[in-house]
Every structure is written in C-alpha cells, then in structure tokens.
Chain A
Amino acid sequence: MAQTAAPAAPSSTSTRRGVSADLPDATLSKWLRDMFLIREFEVRCAQAYQQAKIGGFCHLYIGQEACAVGTIGAVNHDDPIVTAYRDHGHALARGMDPGACMAEMFGKSTGCAKGKGGSMHMFDRPNWLFGGHGIVGAQTALGTGLAFAARYEWEVLGKGVNHPDGRPATLDENAPAKKKVSLCYLGDGALNQGCLHEAMNLAGLYSLPVIFIVENNRYSMGTAIERGTTMAHNLLAKGAAYGIDSLKINEEEGLDILRLYDKFKPFADECRAKQRPGFVDLHTYRYQGHSMSDPQKYRTKEEVEAVKQKDSIDQLVLHLMNERKCMTEAQFLAMQREVKDLVAKAMTFAEESPIPDVDAELYSDVYSNIEANLSPTREYVHGAKNPLL
C-alpha cells in the first residue's frame, strides 16, 4: 500500500525510454492521483462493507490500479470501455464522480445506477463506460459489439450516432465519426468462458477494433490460473488462435504504469489505426481477497507481501520525485490530502443520500414506459387490496 510518507528510493534508478517519457508531468501526476484515488476509495469501501453499509458483494481493485489508469490513459475519452464486476477502478479512472460511485455501493438513489445495481454494476454513459458486469465473461461479447458499432459508424455511416459526451444523436444530427478502439477488460478466470471465445472469433473474423485486456491477477476466486486454464504460461496462443495480434505485459511491467503504457499505447494505436482486434495478457495482482469474505487459503501471505514490494503507486511516486523530479514530497502529501478529502466527501454524500423511493424505482427502467409492467401486484408494495378481492 502507498504510505503516507514517500517510499524509500531503491538503490538504482532506471532510465526511461518508452513513449511515456514524452508525456507531460501533469499527465503522470494525474495518473498518480487517479491511482491513489482508486486505492483510497477501495480502502473506504472495505470499511463501509465491514460496517454493513455496503451489501452483497464488494470486489476491491487494490493492487491493480495501474491497469485501469494506464490503459484508459492510452485511449480517448470517447473510446467505449466495458469491464467485469471488479469495476470501481475503471469507473473512477474514466472519470466517474466518486460520490455517485460510492452511493451506488450503498444502494442509494444518487448512485450511478440509482442504487439498484450495486458494486458490480457501474455504468457511466457520458464517460463511455458500458459497465460493470456480474456475469463473468459475458461482457466480452458486448465489447466486441461496441467495436462493431464503432467500425460501422466510421466505415458505413461515415458519421457518429452518439455525441462525444455520450448522448445519442438524433437521426438528422451529425455527430463526429472517428476511428475508435474499444477496451474490453476481463479477468483471467473469464478466459475459460465460452463467450470469450465466440467474441474473439467474431472480432478476428470481422476485424473489429476491440482490445481484450486480460487483467491476469493469477487467481479466479480461489483457483490459481494454472489450476483452471490451459496454456497459462502462454496465453498469447489464445489470441493467436483467432488471428488476433497479442501482447504480453509481464508483472514487472504491469505494476509499473510507465512500462505498461510504453507497451500498451503503441499497441492500442495500431489497433485503432488498422481497425483490428488485440489481445493483451496484462499481469497484475490483487492484494485483497476475491471479495470481502475470502479466507485466502489458496495463497501465502509471503506471496502477497512480495508483490506489495513492487507496488504501482510507490513506483510512480518514486519516479516523479527522484527521476523526473517533478513532484516534491510536500506536493505528494498535498495530493493525498486532496484525495482523502474527496473520498471522505463521497462517503458523506453516499451516507446522506436517500434510499431509492419504492414507488418511483421498484418498477422504473424495466421498459421505456412504466405502464408496460404495472401488473396488479404492484399494489402490494403497500399492502393495498387485490382488485379481485
């Protein structure tokens, strides 16, 4: 975990050469802040869960922050993304308001899904986040479809059907069309769902600009990747089987956002330019259990500690302070304070927000018109009479 004080510098410092070297200081500072925001947010989620303010399930992203921030940082804001249920990190990296995110976890009406979806169902249309999906693997076909739509817009329609802020355009409006690439995140466990293979085949067959990003944190719940997945040592073979160009980002790189970006950015640019799919085996690690109730019998404390030594936030702090020398310790502390304050406000917002109104929300958003499913049972919400009786 990132310490409050700046981490101690390692004995040797590397010289950076990749595309990240050309990024402005402000971009890297923003990444640090986003990663720290995700971590702080997750720490507070864990507390809220323990206090039973968050119900059901809660899958924390702590340890994997560099994945979401580094890959989202490599594409445009209006490139669509879709992910699985470990989704708070992607939502925040995409710019979701932390208050709306926390309120969703609390099941409050101000949440991004009106408090009716919970932890696994983060959606943010203006930020082109198409979820948050609870069925493992199912989102991979959706990511493929989003890429299909993007390519259709660009090549067939020659105009966009959505505005850059996510609002659907009317038939006679002209939204800009551009070459997009969609990011489709999945866990290593999802590698074994049939849906992914159907999605990859379609993407390969139609050359759709979707990048399947496997956030390979070595475990699918309690199952280590070697115990559940063939070719675990060479996942790129899976992309190759569908004629999809594939990229491996090993753990050293996956935990170092700069090296992650150095590899991912050119790859994503090429998928966009050539309008073709990609497959990325991105190694990372989750520090916490699978969900909040996980005895973690499947791994040792030492294993977790060893990865924490390479913590992605620590690494970036060191880089900014010692190599780029663009951030002072005081600035780092100030950033932490700002983020902690922001998350504290999100907590208060979630806490103080109302729960969804039963009358207004139990039946809403099932069809475009609420009348479509107003069966007589609705009356029972308040114990009113059955019209028959």
Chain B
Amino acid sequence: MPRTPQMIEKGLTLVDAINEGLAQEMERDARVVCLGEDVGLNGGVFRVTEGLQKRFGSDRVVDTPLSESGIMGAAIGLAMGGMRPIPEIQFEGFMGPAHDQLVNHAARFRNRTRGEITVPLTVRVPWGGGIHAPEFHSDSPEAIYIHNPGMKVVCPATPADAKGLLISAIRDPDPVLFFEPKRVYRSYREQVPEEEYTIPLGKAKVVQEGTDLTIITWGAQLFQCLEALDQLPEDASVELIDLRTLNPLDHDTIATSVEKTGRCVVVQEAPKTCSLGSEISAIIQERCFLNLKAPVQRVAGFDTIMPYAKLELDYLPDAKRIAEAVVQTLGY
C-alpha cells in the first residue's frame, strides 16, 4: 500500500511498520496467510492488519471464529502443510486457550519428528501494559514461552526493528512468537526503509554506547530507559541494550557489554520472579563474574497481578525507578 503523506513526512508507527511488513511478505510469498479474530473486515483490534483483506482477499486474510485453540492449532497444521501462517491472538492474555497447541505441538514438532516436520509459524501478539487496560490486556508473559524450548520469541521496541524482525520471523523455519508492545503501537514514529529488509533474529541492539553501566531492556521499556538516561548525572556513561529477540538470547552482546562496564541493570515490565531478567542476571554472573563491580539489579513489575488503570503506573517501571536503580548501582 502506498505510504500516506504523514508517513512520508513523520515516519511510521509500529502499527504502520508491521502492516507494511505483512503486506510485502504476502506480496512476495503466496504461502503467507494471516488468520485471527476480526483481522480481515475489521483489520484487527489494533488495526495492524488494516487493508490486507481488501488487498489480498479473504482466502489469505482469514476472519476466524473466537477460538484461540482452533486458530493456533489450525495455523500449526497450515505450517506443517507447507504454508507460512501468521495467526494473530488479540491480547497476550488470550494465549491461554492456545497454549497447549503452541507449547506442546508447535514448539516440539521439529524435535519430535527429528527434523522431518517443521512449523514455520509467526504468532503475532499485542503485548504488555501502559494502555490503562486490566489484566489479560496488559500482561508480559514472555518468560513462559522463553522457558519452553523450540519457540523463538521476538519483542521489537521500534517501528524499523519491528518490520525487519517480522520479515525474518516469517521467513524463519521455526515457530516465532512475535510480541508487539501495545504501548508503542501509535505513540512513536520513525523513518523506516520502504523496501523489504531483514534483521537477524537473536541479535541485540546497542542503542547507546557507554562505559560505566549496562542497561538491558526490551519492548516498551526501551522508551522509559531512554527517558531515565536524561535524568542521570552528566558524567554517567551508560550503555543501553535493546534485546529485540528474547529467545535465542544474544549472550555475547550482553557479556561483552557487562565485561566492559562491570555493572548492569535489567529493566522489564514482567513480574520479577523467574523472569527473563532473572535469567540475564544468571548469565552475567556465569560469564562476567570477575568483571562485576556491583550486583545486577532488576527493575521489574512486581510479583502481583497486573492492576487496572489507577495503579498501572505504580506497577510499571518508569524513568524515575530506572534512574534510581542506575544511580544506586553506579554508587555501589
């Protein structure tokens, strides 16, 4: 679809970028099929698939009934049959009914068939908090899926990364869970190359280089971290890493950075216990033990149920909390 004047002048939102990536892959590869609740006629709850049914027809952009287990299972079957399905689950909380299909089937098929049968599937899921919605509509369940081998997990923070990572995910031979931070959907624009391009899965991005401390984050928290950097003392030299892919995790980028800085703060929305932040802390102590000058800190959501609207901003990490953790760690 041609870009609008606004997109040309001001850049693309995350929604625009994903939409463009989907359209270009559908154009390139007729095996690509989108399916989900209201993804066609309505263009999806967040309008990410807007216009795709009109352009590619209802055989390729399929409105499904309200049945996550059926959607996921059928998408897995499509993938086993050689297609490149892209199911959308409307909110991360609705992964529940689809969980069995994804975790017990999609993730294990390659292994179970010793490589004979694979599941090239890209599951798109709006993810995370910050939109004043209650539980099921604001959760960050990435750790559950990272914990299960066999599935890649991607969580872009910016429009340009989203497009490149999405295209890689679609072309990847294994199932990829593609978490889209809702909070970023329409709140940030940037210039995004118009042609197709890929960003390799499993590669973190060093957003800012620094020498004294490493902040590691992903998803919408990238923007809270950027805000926090502005609140730090002038002389604090902080390296900021956006993981982008959560599984496989880019151990080398993490270790190289922390070997250099000796200090690390991990920032995430998810509850702290048994989270990706916990895993990263463990990796750092395994790989950088002798370089560490302070304990690794996790600035995280709390070990409680995501509260509705009024307590949301108390739950989610913000620039202040992040900056405080950074200052404490620097002063250890």
Q: Which residues of B contact A189 (CB under 8 A)?
A: 65-66
Q: Please judge, given known A-B contacts A356-B310, A386-B328, whether A362 and B134 are in contact too, CB under 8 Å.
A: no
Q: Please judge, given known A-B contacts A55-B308, A356-B310, A377-B300, whether A383 and B320 are in contact too, CB under 8 Å.
A: yes
- Asked if residues A228 and B310 are in contact (CB atoms below 8 Å), the reply is no
Q: Please judge, given known A-B contacts A56-B308, A362-B311, whether A297 and B42 are in contact too, CB under 8 Å.
A: yes
Which of A5-13, A130-138, A303-311, A335-343 is found at the contact surface with chain B? A130-138
- Asked if residues B311 and A228 are in contact (CB atoms below 8 Å), the reply is no
- Asked if residues B314 and A381 are in contact (CB atoms below 8 Å), the reply is yes
Per the bound structure, the CA–CA distance linking A137 and B324 in Å amounts to 43
- Asked if residues A375 and B65 are in contact (CB atoms below 8 Å), the reply is no
Contact-residue size bin, chain B (C-beta under 8 Å from the other chain): 35 or more
- Asked if residues B41 and A366 are in contact (CB atoms below 8 Å), the reply is no
B199 within 8 A of A: no
B226 within 8 A of A: no
Q: Please judge, given known A-B contacts A134-B136, A389-B329, whether A227 and B63 are in contact too, CB under 8 Å.
A: yes
Per the bound structure, the CA–CA distance linking A6 and B38 in Å amounts to 39
Interface flags for B301-325 (1: CB within 8 Å of A; 0: not) read 0111101111110110000110011
Which of B90-98, B119-127, B164-172, B210-218 is found at the contact surface with chain A? B90-98
A177 within 8 A of B: no
Q: Which residues of B contact A361 (CB under 8 A)?
A: 307, 311
Q: Which residues of B contact A108 (CB under 8 A)?
A: 310
- Asked if residues B311 and A134 are in contact (CB atoms below 8 Å), the reply is no
Per the bound structure, the CA–CA distance linking A383 and B45 in Å amounts to 36
**Minimum C-beta distance from A385 to chain B (A):** 6
Which of B19-27, B253-261, B291-299 is found at the contact surface with chain A? B291-299
Per the bound structure, the CA–CA distance linking A108 and B311 in Å amounts to 10
Q: Which residues of A contact B285 (CB under 8 A)?
A: none
**Minimum C-beta distance from B268 to chain A (A):** 11
- Asked if residues B66 and A378 are in contact (CB atoms below 8 Å), the reply is no
Q: Which residues of A contact B294 (CB under 8 A)?
A: 389
- Asked if residues A56 and B131 are in contact (CB atoms below 8 Å), the reply is yes
Per the bound structure, the CA–CA distance linking A315 and B268 in Å amounts to 54
B110 within 8 A of A: no
- Asked if residues A135 and B136 are in contact (CB atoms below 8 Å), the reply is yes
Per the bound structure, the CA–CA distance linking A228 and B65 in Å amounts to 4
Per the bound structure, the CA–CA distance linking A380 and B305 in Å amounts to 16
B237 within 8 A of A: no
A201 within 8 A of B: no
Q: Which residues of B contact A363 (CB under 8 A)?
A: 302, 304
Per the bound structure, the CA–CA distance linking A121 and B137 in Å amounts to 13
- Asked if residues A389 and B332 are in contact (CB atoms below 8 Å), the reply is yes
Per the bound structure, the CA–CA distance linking A297 and B50 in Å amounts to 13
Residue of B nearest to A376 (CB): B272
A116, A138, A227, A373: the one within 8 Å of B308 (CB): A116
B198 within 8 A of A: no
- Asked if residues A389 and B328 are in contact (CB atoms below 8 Å), the reply is yes
Q: Which residues of A contact B69 (CB under 8 A)?
A: 193-194
Q: Which residues of B contact A322 (CB under 8 A)?
A: none
Q: Which residues of A contact B42 (CB under 8 A)?
A: 221-222, 295, 297-298
- Asked if residues B66 and A135 are in contact (CB atoms below 8 Å), the reply is no
Q: Which residues of B contact A229 (CB under 8 A)?
A: 65
Q: Which residues of B contact A57 (CB under 8 A)?
A: 133-134, 137
- Asked if residues B303 and A375 are in contact (CB atoms below 8 Å), the reply is yes
Residue of A nearest to B66 (CB): A189
B residues 38-72 touching A (CB-CB < 8 Å): 38, 41-42, 45, 63-70
| Chain A interface, >50% SS class | loop
Q: Which residues of B contact A75 (CB under 8 A)?
A: none
Per the bound structure, the CA–CA distance linking A115 and B311 in Å amounts to 9
- Asked if residues B97 and A366 are in contact (CB atoms below 8 Å), the reply is no
A171 within 8 A of B: no
B69, B299, B311: residue with the most chain A Cβ atoms closer than 10 Å: B311
Q: Which residues of A contact B41 (CB under 8 A)?
A: 222-223, 297-298
- Asked if residues A385 and B303 are in contact (CB atoms below 8 Å), the reply is no
Q: Which residues of A contact B272 (CB under 8 A)?
A: 375, 377
A321 within 8 A of B: no
A residues 331-389 touching B (CB-CB < 8 Å): 355-356, 358, 361-363, 366, 373, 375, 377-378, 380-381, 383, 385-386, 388-389
Q: Which residues of A contact B67 (CB under 8 A)?
A: 192-194
**Minimum C-beta distance from A53 to chain B (A):** 10
Per the bound structure, the CA–CA distance linking A229 and B65 in Å amounts to 7
Per the bound structure, the CA–CA distance linking A329 and B325 in Å amounts to 66
Interface flags for B108-147 (1: CB within 8 Å of A; 0: not) read 0000000000000000000000011111110000000000
Residue of A nearest to B328 (CB): A389
B148 within 8 A of A: no
Interface flags for A199-232 (1: CB within 8 Å of B; 0: not) read 0000000000000000000001111000111000
- Asked if residues B314 and A362 are in contact (CB atoms below 8 Å), the reply is yes
- Asked if residues B134 and A121 are in contact (CB atoms below 8 Å), the reply is yes
- Asked if residues A134 and B302 are in contact (CB atoms below 8 Å), the reply is no
- Asked if residues B328 and A192 are in contact (CB atoms below 8 Å), the reply is no
Per the bound structure, the CA–CA distance linking A373 and B309 in Å amounts to 22
Per the bound structure, the CA–CA distance linking A136 and B96 in Å amounts to 11
A101 within 8 A of B: no
- Asked if residues B304 and A222 are in contact (CB atoms below 8 Å), the reply is no
A116, A193, A375: the one within 8 Å of B307 (CB): A116
Q: Which residues of A contact B68 (CB under 8 A)?
A: 193
Interface flags for A221-257 (1: CB within 8 Å of B; 0: not) read 1110001110000000000000000000000000000
A63 within 8 A of B: no
- Asked if residues A383 and B324 are in contact (CB atoms below 8 Å), the reply is yes
Q: Which residues of B contact A373 (CB under 8 A)?
A: 303-304
B37 within 8 A of A: yes
B273 within 8 A of A: yes
Residue of A nearest to B37 (CB): A221
Residue of B nearest to A53 (CB): B309
A-B contact pairs, 14 of them (CB 8 A): A55-B132, A56-B133, A117-B134, A135-B97, A135-B136, A136-B94, A192-B65, A192-B66, A223-B38, A228-B64, A355-B311, A356-B307, A373-B303, A377-B272
- A residues near B, CB below 8 A? 55-57, 107-108, 115-121, 134-138, 189-190, 192-195, 220-223, 227-229, 295, 297-298, 355-356, 358, 361-363, 366, 373, 375, 377-378, 380-381, 383, 385-386, 388-389
Which 5 A-B pairs have CB atoms at the shortest separation, nearest pair first?
A55-B132, A55-B309, A56-B133, A192-B65, A107-B310
Q: A193-B68, A383-B321, A389-B332 are in contact. List 10 more A-B contacts (CB 8 A).
A: A56-B131, A56-B137, A57-B134, A116-B308, A134-B93, A193-B97, A295-B42, A358-B311, A378-B302, A389-B294
